[in-house]
């Protein structure tokens, strides 16, 4: 192993250009830390100056260079393929070409479920099996989305990684294979107990069918909150994220919420608060977070569900928050019919309307724009 290190140090001039996980870097040093399983290491420098250490066998040098030749020999000595399979090497500086023997032909389309997100990478699972991979992309991810891809390259760097062309995305909660959140019965809800305005005032149009339907069964939806310690409620991870946001640390707040989704996609409150972070500036991104949470919650409701999910049962609130955010985004994006449908259903599920839907629904049904509705 030490002989291999000396060969690399003597014949491969550093710094030199290379790729790691498809990302251009500069190799500044070779080393061996005594870990025989890992073998030779390479210290890599990113364009922004950050440095990190990887196994030298995972570094791809430009074809025809001394670095490429020695890494190929080293990989062969380790019992690996001479070149990292299905990986392209940079030629020099800014241009790139495929390493000999590594040309990849685009494969047939595949679908992945996005399980967790970190930076520009997403941990994904192929639909139909349990195989997971890490996918790199510059698009913003929403945990729980389904992405349709055309595979370009696949390689292993500790875990399987792929690069791919994303051809489409969709939200399809049943395809995620999740266990639906439990519904616990919470007695009977009756419209007689509901406040409908001052005596003698006309009943609003939206409330009449709810009153006519009469008493219904109330339920509380299971809330999943990874990391919550019932012995220390101050450590509520959603509260921690909100505190970070209020302190101006939006990126850390966002990462904390992504971590909750990565632990369990059924953490509906994480989806709702991810939507809240994006809502003001990017409603097109926010709506994806809200809808994923809403659709996952919907898995617990049968097609003929006729019960009530009162806001007063606090574990219903994450689902109602997702639904509320989804409806607001639909309205803001001019999708009036869908917004009206979502908000009408919200009033049916939570007639006490703690989120103020009754003040919005007439504007939406009249197709008054988001901006004009807010100005009233």
Q: What are phi and psi of 133, to 5 degrees?
A: -145, 165
**Tokens representing residue 326 in the block:** 């989804």
Q: Tens digit of pLDDT per residue, the chain (376 long)?
A: 444 444 445 567 778 887 765 566 788 888 877 766 667 888 888 765 777 787 787 788 777 777 788 788 877 777 666 654 444 333 333 333 333 333 333 455 788 999 988 877 889 998 877 888 888 776 777 999 999 988 777 777 667 888 888 888 999 999 999 999 999 999 999 998 776 666 667 888 889 999 999 999 999 999 999 988 777 767 789 999 999 999 989 989 999 999 999 999 999 999 999 999 999 989 999 999 999 999 999 999 999 999 999 999 999 999 999 999 999 999 999 999 999 999 999 999 999 999 999 999 999 999 999 887 765 5
Q: What architecture is the 183-375 domain classified under in CATH?
A: Alpha Horseshoe (1.25)
| CA 321 to chain centroid | 18
216-221 vs 109-118, strand pairing mode = unpaired
Host H or E run for residue 260 = helix 250-263
H helix runs in the chain, sequence order: 2-11, 66-77, 208-213, 237-246, 250-263, 268-279, 283-298, 317-332, 336-349, 361-365, 370-375
Out of 1.10.3470, 2.130.10, 2.40.50, 1.20.950, which CATH number does the structure's domain 109-170 have?
Answer: 2.40.50
**Tokens representing residue 159 in the block:** 């875990």
**Tokens representing residue 5 in the block:** 């290190």
| Rounded distance between C-alpha atoms, residue 22 and residue 161, angstroms | 10
Tell me which DSSP letter residue 219 carries: E
Measured between its terminal Cα atoms, the distance across the chain in Å is: 74
Tell me which DSSP letter residue 243 carries: H
Q: Is 73 helix (H, G, I), strand (E, B) or coil?
A: helix
User: Cβ distance 157 to 21 under 8 Å?
Assistant: yes
| Rounded distance between C-alpha atoms, residue 251 and residue 330, angstroms | 25
């Amino acid at each position: 192993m030490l002989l291999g290190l000396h060969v690399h140090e003597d014949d491969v001039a550093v710094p030199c250009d290379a790729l790691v996980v498809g990302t251009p870097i500069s190799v500044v040093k070779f080393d061996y830390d005594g870990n025989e399983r890992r073998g030779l290491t390479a210290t890599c420098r990113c364009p922004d100056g950050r440095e990190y250490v990887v196994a030298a066998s995972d570094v791809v040098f430009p074809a025809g260079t001394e670095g490429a030749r020695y890494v190929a020999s080293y990989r062969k000595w380790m019992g690996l393929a001479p070149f990292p399979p299905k990986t392209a090497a940079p030629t020099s500086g800014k241009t790139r070409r495929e390493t000999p023997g590594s040309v990849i032909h685009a494969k047939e389309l595949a679908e992945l479920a996005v399980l967790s997100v970190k930076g520009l990478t997403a941990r994904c699972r192929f639909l139909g099996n349990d195989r997971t991979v890490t996918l790199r992309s510059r698009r913003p991810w929403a945990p729980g989305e389904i992405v349709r891809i055309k595979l370009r390259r696949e390689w292993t760097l500790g875990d399987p990684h792929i690069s791919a062309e994303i051809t489409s995305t969709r939200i399809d909660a049943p395809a995620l294979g999740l266990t639906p959140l439990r519904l616990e019965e919470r007695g009977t809800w009756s419209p007689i107990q509901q406040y409908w305005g001052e005596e003698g005032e006309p009943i609003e149009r939206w409330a009449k069918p709810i009153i006519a339907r009469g008493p219904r069964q109330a339920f509380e939806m299971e809330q999943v909150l990874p990391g919550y310690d019932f012995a220390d409620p101050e450590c509520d991870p959603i509260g921690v994220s909100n505190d970070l946001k209020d302190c101006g640390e939006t990126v850390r707040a966002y990462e904390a919420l992504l971590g909750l989704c990565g632990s369990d996609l059924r953490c509906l409150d994480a989806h709702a608060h991810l939507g809240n972070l994006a809502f003001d500036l990017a409603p097109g991104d926010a709506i994806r977070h809200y809808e994923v949470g809403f659709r996952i919650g919907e898995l617990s409701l049968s097609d003929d569900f006729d019960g009530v999910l009162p806001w007063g049962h606090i574990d219903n609130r994450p689902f109602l928050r997702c639904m509320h955010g989804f409806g607001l985004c639909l309205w803001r994006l001019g999708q009036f019919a869908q917004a009206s449908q979502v908000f009408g259903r919200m009033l049916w599920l939570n007639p006490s309307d703690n989120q103020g839907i009754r003040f919005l629904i007439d504007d939406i049904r009249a197709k008054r724009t988001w901006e004009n509705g807010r100005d009233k």
